[in-house]
Structure 1
Amino acid sequence: MEIKIVRSLGDEVQTYNVELENVTLLSILNHIKTKIDPTLTYSHGCRSGVCGSCAVRVNGVEQLMCEYKPSEGDVVEPIRNARVIRDLVVDSGAVEHFNRVANAWSEGSHEGSVSEEDASRIETQSDCILCTSCYSACPVYAVNPDFIGPFALTRVWRYVNDAREESSDAKIAAVQTNGIWDCTLCGECVPVCPQNIAPKQDITMLRMKSAMLGYQDPNAAAAFGGGLDFGSPMF
């Protein structure tokens, strides 16, 4: 099987031939590193689709190396929108940065039992493994590198929708700038999520929650020539 890997030195594409079939991409890269080219650099952890550290792009689509089984001629490259450290390893600092900007964690909750219905509301979003596949697939970063991003926003919705959280207003306020209104709702983040989370849907729900609290899309307001109250009447 022929596998092509984008290397960090000059973005060169290096071709490897391996005689392995029906194995994961991670197994193939381990074989290349131990048997063919010890300079190849990549990242992995749990090897079971849980830690998210082995996310890459294969033929332009985000995949987890420990789950994806390659085909002849596949091209493997690092995820987008992140600084490449070497070969397939990128700087994952965006995870911490955007989660911090969005207040995407619990800042105060009350004790008590959680009903099965309440738990089901946050179950899917709680499964996020921060692989940043949605971050890599998002086209908004091409025009706005400060965009909070789908993975952080879906985590915000998880806490906003948690019945145990004492107040979600601060989280809603934190995602108004470079956040929910900057998303184009293109849906590119949805099919690449290995946990079947739909950030597009979560962002839509955050917009609805924001509207209930009196926030409006500033871009729509600007189109009418005014502020959030749409400014003066049009003549």
Structure 2
Amino acid sequence: MITIRIRRFHAARKPSEVVQEWAVEEGQTLLEALTFIKTQKDPTLTFRSGCRSCVCGSCAVRVNGREVLACAYKPKEGDLVEPLRFAPVIKDLVTDQNGGFDTLRRVKAWLEAPVADAVVTPEEEKRTEVQSDCILCHSCYSACPVFETLPLFAGPFALTRAWRYVADPREGDAKSKIDAIQQNGVWDCTLCGECTAVCPQGIDPKSDILMLRTKSTQMGHMDPTMGSFGSFGLDF
């Protein structure tokens, strides 16, 4: 047996946030451990799960400050399990993820103006295949340090999805998508790579954001901080 700790939250209770310890079987997945606690020890423990096969992304949590899928992670002695960051906690390990989904609408993450006669070659399809594998687990949002200071940031998976459609030869108005990610978007990323490190699908949002920056400059946009430096130089 090993002991894991779970940070729990309930708005109606005082104190609203506590850390509880539980003894669970070693070698099982975290999701199995959470299910054991809920069915055998405390039915009020609240968490999300779905496919149990690393496909739906609904069971994403943080363990020792790192985002993981509970159905894949095997806990170790003393692990601290917490909800994802930068989203309101509904109860225990369940967060309100509507804010993340809203960013997909803000960046127009869909085929907006399809070109009727466009043909997607196998090579072009391969180019955005990985980006299409996103399971919307929100791990990259929780890991992103930009949200600490910029809550309106579009975020990693929205920008990755934007690149997926900007690069799609069937999209006839890629510029509208590029225009939509200039504010609180592509230039606000710090390129730290935390999103890439925690993605369970092996997606690289940092690389996608760099490509969006290149496309942005090609379409007449520029890094606003570079504009500030230029003004400073002229004033000087």
TM score, norm. by length of structure 2: 0.93
1:65 to 66, 70, 85: 70
Quote the offset at 1:160 in angstroms.
0.5
Q: Does 1:4 align with 2:5?
A: yes
Which one-letter code corresponds to 2:207 in the other structure? Answer: Q
Write out aligned runs for 1:1-235 (5 A): 1-9=2-10, 10-18=16-24, 20-111=25-116, 113-225=119-231, 233-235=234-236
Which one-letter code corresponds to 1:27 in the other structure? Answer: E
Quote the offset at 1:234 in angstroms.
4.5
Which one-letter code corresponds to 2:38 in the other structure? Answer: K
TM score, norm. by length of structure 1: 0.94
Deviations 1:143-179 (A, max 9, x none): 1111000110000000001112122110000000000
CA distance in 1, matches of 2:91, 2:163: 34
CA distance in 2, matches of 1:24, 1:225: 55
The answer to whether the Cα contact below 8 Å between 1:121 and 1:162 also exists between their aligned partners in 2 is no
Q: Which moved more, 1:86-95 or 1:5-14?
A: 5-14
CA distance in 2, matches of 1:22, 1:34: 18
Size of the aligned set, in residue pairs, is 229
CA distance in 2, matches of 1:78, 1:21: 22
The share of aligned pairs that are identical, in percent, is 55
Quote the offset at 1:184 in angstroms.
0.7
Which one-letter code corresponds to 1:48 in the other structure? Answer: S
CA distance in 1, matches of 2:82, 2:146: 20
Quote the offset at 1:11 in angstroms.
2.3
Deviations 1:29-64 (A, max 9, x none): 000000001110001111111111111000000000
CA distance in 1, matches of 2:134, 2:23: 34
3-state SS in 2 of match to 1:14? strand
